[in-house]
Every structure is written in C-alpha cells, then in structure tokens.
Amino acid sequence: MAESDVTTVGSRVWLVKGSPDDLTPATVTQCDGVEVVYQTDYGEEQRMWMNEIDPNQVKPMNGVLLQGVEDMAKMTELNQASILCNLNTRYQQNEIYTYIGSILISVNPYKRLHDLYDEKTLARYTNKDLGEESPHVFAIANECYTCLWKREESQCVLISGESGAGKTEATKFILKFISNISRQRSGKVEEENGKSIEKSILESGPVLEALGNAKTVYNNNSSRFGKFVQLLISESGQIKGGRITDCILAKHRVVRQNPGERNYHIFYQLIQGATPEQRDRLFLMEPGEYHYLNQSGCVSDPTLNDAEDWAALEQALNVIGFKDGQKQDMMSVLSGILHLGNVSFMNAGGAQVVDTDVIDRTSQLLGIDSERLEAVMKERTMKLRGENITSPQSIDQACDSRDSIAMAVYSQLFRWIISKINHRIKGPDDFYFIGILDIFGFENFKINRFEQFCINFANEKLQEFFNRHIFSLEQIEYNKEGIDWCDVEWADNSECLDLVEKNLGLMSLINEESRFPKGTDKSLLNKLHNQHAKNQFYVKPRVIGLEFGIKHYAGEVMYNVTGFLEKNRDTFRDDLLGLL
C-alpha cells in the first residue's frame, strides 16, 4: 500500500497497539506533510511524524469495510477489531443485521426502523435461500422452516446476547414469520382451530411479558425468566400446536428490587388499567403506596404505557381463551400479593401484626382464612416426635414468612397461566417442531447475587453449546468427509464450566453447604476460596468481604454470596404450605 493511504486526510486506518490483533479504527484528520493526526473512533487523538510512521503500527483499512460487509465470513481479515468496525459501519447505515456465515448478528437500534418488519418484508424473505436477500431475522426463520423439511428433523433457533440486546423481540419476529408462512400453506380455506392456535401462540407473548418481564437498570423490558417455545408443524407445513417451557423465574423480584428497577410489569398494568369498579373490588391503591413496588424508588417509566399494555394483555387473554372468572381470579391474586407486602409487624412478645385490616383485605383477595394467614407469619409450627410445636417469630422472621408466601403465590400463578396457555395450544406430540430458546442475557450489575450466578451459568452453557456445534462438530464433519480446512482457533470455555459444575466445583459446594443446618453464606465463601483460589477462572478478592468472582467468556463478574444458601435451598415451611 502507498504511504498516502495512511496519511491522506479522510483515509481510514488501523492503529496497532500492542499485539498485531489489538487494532483501533481511526481516521486521518490532518496532514501538513510533516505531522499526521489520527482521530480514533473512540474520540482519542494520536499524532505521528510522517517520517516515523511504521507500517506495522499504522495500516490502511480494507476498502470493503468503508461501505460495510453483509456477510463477514467473506472478509479477508476477520478479527475482533474488523468485526466491531463492520458492525458499527452498518449500524450507522441503519443496517442492524449482519451475517457470519449462517450466524446472524443483531444490534439493537433502540428505535423503530421503517418497513423493516412489514408485510412486504415478510413476503420478500419467504422461500428464499439464506444469503439471497440482505441479512434479516426473517431469513433465519425461513431457513429454519426450510431445513425442517429438507432434513426431516426438528429445528431450533438459539438466541443469545446480553440483557437488552433484543432477544425477546427477535423471538416475536421469528414467531410472526413462521405464523405467516403457516397461513400461506393452509391455502384459501383456513381451519378455524388452526387459526386460533396460531393466534393463541402469538398472543401468549404479551401475557408472558407482563408476568415475567420487568424494568431493570439496563433494559425497560427485561425477561426475568427463560422460555423455550416449540411450534408443532404438520405435514402440510401448518402450525398445529405448540408448547411453552419456562425456567428460572426470578421470584425474589416480587418482594424486592434494586434501586431504579421495577417489579413485574403486570402489577403496574393492573393498577393503571383497572376500571373504577375493579379498583374498588380489588382495594387498589397507587403504586407508591405498596411496599412491594416502592422500595426501588421507581414506579413508572416514560417509555412504558402501563394502561395501554393492560388493555393489550386483556385482549391477549381473551384470544387464548381465559374466561371472565379466571381473569378476575388472576387480578384478585395479584392485588392480594401487593396487599400482603403491606402487612407490617411490631414486637410484643414476638412479632405482632400492626394493622389487621390489611390482613383481612389480603385474605379476602387470596381466598385464605385471615386467622391462619396471620398465625403462620407470627408463629412457626413444627412437628417434633409426632407433636406440633409452635414458637413465636421475630419481626425479621415474620417478614421472611410474608415474603415467602408472596413469592410462592406468584410462582403458582405464573405456572397456572402457562399451563392454561399450553392446554389451549396443545398439538400432536409426533410432529416435527421448531424450537425458539429465549433466556436472560448475560448480566453484570454493581451487586450480583445468586440469580445472576444462575443466569450467567446458563449463558456459559449456551456458549459451550454454540462453540461445540459451530466449531468442534463442524471440524469433525470436515475430517469425515475429507474436506481440506484451516484449523480455526476458538475460545474454549470448558474449563470455566468445570469450575462451576464438576465434582467439588462451585455448584457442588453450594449444594453441599445448603444441606448443612449450620451452613452460612460466610462458611460457603470460605470453602469456595479454599478449594478454588488457584483456579485461573476463579477470582478471590484481595480485600476480605462477601464476594468471589468468575472469569466468564463475556467478562469477569463478582458475586456477593449474601442469600446464596437460602435461595439455593428454596425451601417452603410445612405450615406455610398447609396454608396454601
């Protein structure tokens, strides 16, 4: 390359810092024949004398990157810097989708892009080979549908990414595309049942979002549970049923949230969307008046319209087939949970309820005897040698009992609604299916607890699955077929997973300590440090505290062990269970 390629004003270059792969994209902003000024894409300025420019330190950028490349597998230089630069170039052009072979990378635009998901776009990607049209989530959905018939086996779309990357939206668009192509396959005369099953599957989205999504500091519609959606496809190519499997619902969000975050959407939607008659019947108050909603200092979000979302939720429940009585029961349970959180205690020879009127309202809404509800929070009853032994509880213990009931009731409501949806969309078990996996993204907050530990472990497992199928198994297949190929180096995260899941790994030690009656979070941390301090993927802080760290594939995360054992045990007292 000529020297002018790295000194001409306006030229795009790579500045090499450290290793040859440590590249920073930059633009030549000034050159007076003596000195050259480079402005990096990150706002930094670097000056060099023209006669001292080292071609190993300043390299001209490949021209194709200036326009952006649709499929990065075709790039001559593929490294972290060129990938990020290409994604940024396309992002600035409102091109949020990019391929690497059959892998689709999506960058959340945080705005609506005109015509990107309309009916014309749906038609454009239907029955097209992958790569025939520009990158799009519809192209992946079409390829998935096509491969189901080509290979005569079920297919799955794996959606991964950090919280707020747009995984839930991608799930919606895949469902929309496959539903559209299913209707086309049905011909002119559509079966009414088939139509309603499709609609029920599509409308399950708003229902599950209301119950399982919440505003976090990173994302105002963050999934706080994982789901695997299966679409059962008939021999004629139509959706004839479905199944939704949920996992890892963050129950503790019901009773407490971090600063700046909200509880599950459905609580706010109910309060803002209920009719005056419903508000009276449910004893509804403003969000700021509920303990379970006001702890975080955030009860609203300018980007969310809770009243409109409640109307959409009611419509979705109607489509799925929820009866009026079932919807009223759901509303009563939700309001009952909120009022339960307002039960407070004082110390008078043990915990005593401050305001029994709150207990009465809660009991009425939940359909529970008020005296029994009050008793299980104030006292603990255990069986000893065949006899019931009752002892008073402290205020903290009473609050824990109250919160345990709230979490259990919400979890049961969540599972009941999913079971109703699954009953409505049930189809034949012997059909091929298209599966869509949508779980929490990788998380790294200021304070990370047991929930983040589980979420990030699940993401670590997904990354291993991805690596194994894209790299390891593909290379084995090449060897079997005698195909010449260049060995590809890839980041193997198996040692990080071994740290978590092998014998005497983190999970094993957590489970072991959870079984000890005298086990504490502090004793757990000591065991983790003693067993794994020398592991390259384990981080033992220099300053003694309540944290340990893991070097995940996505970065280092420090975890606070407070509550680890309690949440892992996930036990429910017999007397509380008897109440429910």
* Measured CA distances, 222 to 170, 285, 520 (Å): 13, 25, 31
Q: Is the pLDDT of residue 192 over 80?
A: no
Global confidence as pTM: 0.86
pLDDT band at 66 (very low <50, low <70, confident <90, very high): confident
Q: Which CATH architecture has domain 3-61?
A: Roll (2.30)
Catalytic residue selected from 443, 451, 460, 513 = 443
* Measured CA distances, 257 to 217, 293, 296, 298, 451 (Å): 11, 8, 6, 10, 12
Find out whether 165 is annotated in a ligand binding site.
yes
> pLDDT for 205-223, tens place per residue?
999 999 999 999 889 999 9
Catalytic residue selected from 142, 219, 404, 560 = 219
Q: Is the pLDDT of residue 189 over 70?
A: no
Q: Is the pLDDT of residue 326 over 80?
A: yes
Q: Is the pLDDT of residue 184 over 80?
A: yes
Find out whether 164 is annotated in a ligand binding site.
yes
pLDDT at 1: 40
pLDDT band at 356 (very low <50, low <70, confident <90, very high): very high
Catalytic residue selected from 168, 171, 363, 448 = 168
CATH classification (class only), 450-569? mainly alpha
User: By CB neighbour count within 10 A (0-12 exposed, 13-18 middle, 19+ buried), where does 175 fall?
Assistant: buried
> pLDDT for 441-469, tens place per residue?
888 989 999 999 999 999 999 999 888 88
8 A C-beta contact, residue 160 and residue 441: yes
* Domain locations in the chain as residue ranges: 3-61, 450-569
219 is catalytic: yes
The residue with tokens 């059909």 is 431
Q: Whose CA is closest to 407, among 192, 230, 570?
A: 570
User: What does the chain come to in residues?
Assistant: 580
- Cα 394 → chain centroid: 37
> pLDDT for 121-168, tens place per residue?
999 999 999 999 999 999 999 999 999 999 999 999 999 888 889 999
8 A C-beta contact, residue 540 and residue 499: no
7 is catalytic: no
| Stretch (H or E) spanning 279 | helix 276-282
441 is catalytic: yes
Phi-psi region of 349 (alpha: psi -120 to 50; beta: other; left: phi over 0): left
pLDDT at 185: 80
> pLDDT for 337-350, tens place per residue?
999 999 999 998 88
Find out whether 18 is annotated in a ligand binding site.
no
- Cα 215 → chain centroid: 12
pLDDT band at 67 (very low <50, low <70, confident <90, very high): confident
Catalytic residue selected from 263, 441, 451, 560 = 441
Find out whether 161 is annotated in a ligand binding site.
yes
Find out whether 19 is annotated in a ligand binding site.
no
Catalytic residue selected from 68, 164, 242, 341 = 164
Helices (H), 321-442: 324-341, 356-366, 370-378, 395-425
Q: Which residues contact 171 (CB under 8 A, 6 or more apart)?
A: 159, 205, 229, 436, 438
Cα separation of 551 and 381, whole Å? 44
Find out whether 312 is annotated in a ligand binding site.
no
419 is catalytic: no
Cα separation of 504 and 507, whole Å? 8
222 is catalytic: yes
Q: Which amino acid is at 531?
A: Q
pLDDT band at 191 (very low <50, low <70, confident <90, very high): low
223 is catalytic: yes
pLDDT at 163: 82
Going 166 to 168 to 172 to 178, the CA torsion angle's sign is: positive
> pLDDT for 17-36, tens place per residue?
877 778 899 999 999 989 99
Per DSSP, 94 falls in state T
pLDDT at 2: 45
What would the DSSP string read from start to end of 429-479? Answer: TTSEEEEEEE-PPB---SSB-HHHHHHHHHHHHHHHHHHIIIIIHHHHHHH
pLDDT band at 487 (very low <50, low <70, confident <90, very high): low
Is residue 131 classed as helix, strand or coil in its secondary structure? coil
